[in-house]
Amino acid sequence: MNQPRIQGRHAGLNRDQILEAAVALIDAEGRRALSMRRLAQELGVEAMTLYHYVRNKGALEDAIVEHVLAESVEEPDGDGSWQEVLADYARALHRGLLAHPGVVPLFATRPALTPRGVRTLEDLLGILTDAGFTPRTALTMVHATAACVLGQHVGRGDEDAEEATASALPAGEDLPLMRAALADGVPGLEERFQIVLTALVSGYEATLSG
């Protein structure tokens, strides 16, 4: 990556290389490590070079979000109940965010889900409307579900914030239920994801029959 190179010569850079390097940098050193200068260095190039491929840092962050989404969420295969298809979609997003925890905060700032991937969305809407939801309700459900999944990942901060919660319990106070709840360890991300997904799907079912 840090090969010296004759000045003024093409570096042979392209947009995807930049995005992959950016994601790799974030995965390795956290999102605070992502700066135009640092990323350029990682690519063996001067910072200004990057401005030939992205308008500015904001656009770079948008592109990173898109890149991670495109990598984890794929088009639903035709078969399976709407419940399974929606759950698969949620699980794919969940896995994508698990794989790149450092990019989660970028989702928090950037336009979010599916400026691209409209095709995937259309397919999802098809399956949901076939099940009896209106197009508008279906779209709201998909967006809402994605936002719930994202929400579970947000605020996990520097990994073991969860440990902190446990030890931050005021020593003196009388909090029997909190202590009982934490006896088998702090409920983690996976547990929250599971309970949310189950509840949402079963809640949407109730909407349909009600």
Integer angstrom CA distances of residue 167 from 87, 103, 170: 34, 27, 8
In the complex, least distance from residue 9 CB atom to a copy of itself, rounded to whole angstroms: 36
What size, in residues, is the chain? 210
In the complex, least distance from residue 73 CB atom to DNA, rounded to whole angstroms: 27
Residue 52 interaction partner, one of DNA, a copy of itself, none, beta carbon < 5-8 Å per kind: DNA
Other Cβ atoms less than 10 A from the Cβ of 16: the count is 11
User: For a copy of itself, what does the binding mask look like between residues 156 and 195, x meaning CB under 8 A?
Assistant: xx---x--xx--xxx--x-x-xx-xxxxx--x---xx--x
DSSP 118-140: HHHHHHHHHHHHHTT--HHHHHH
Tell me how many residues contact a copy of itself (CB under 8 A): 67
Q: Which is nearer to a copy of itself, 25 or 110 (CB)?
A: 110
Instruction: Please list, residue by residue across 86-116, b when 16 or more beta carbons sit within 10 angstroms of its beta carbon and e when fewer do.
Output: bbbbbebbbebbeebbbbbbbbeebeebbee
Q: Which is nearer to a copy of itself, 41 or 114 (CB)?
A: 114
Residue 51 touching DNA (CB under 7 A): yes
- Measured CA to CA, the distance from residue 57 to residue 51 in angstroms comes to 9
- Measured CA to CA, the distance from residue 181 to residue 192 in angstroms comes to 14
Give residues in contact with a copy of itself (CB under 8 A). 104-105, 107-115, 118-119, 121-122, 125-126, 129, 134-141, 143-144, 147-152, 154-157, 161, 164-165, 168-170, 173, 175, 177-178, 180-184, 187, 191-192, 195-196, 198-204, 206-207
Give residues in contact with DNA (CB under 7 A). 5, 7-13, 34-38, 45-49, 51-52, 56-58
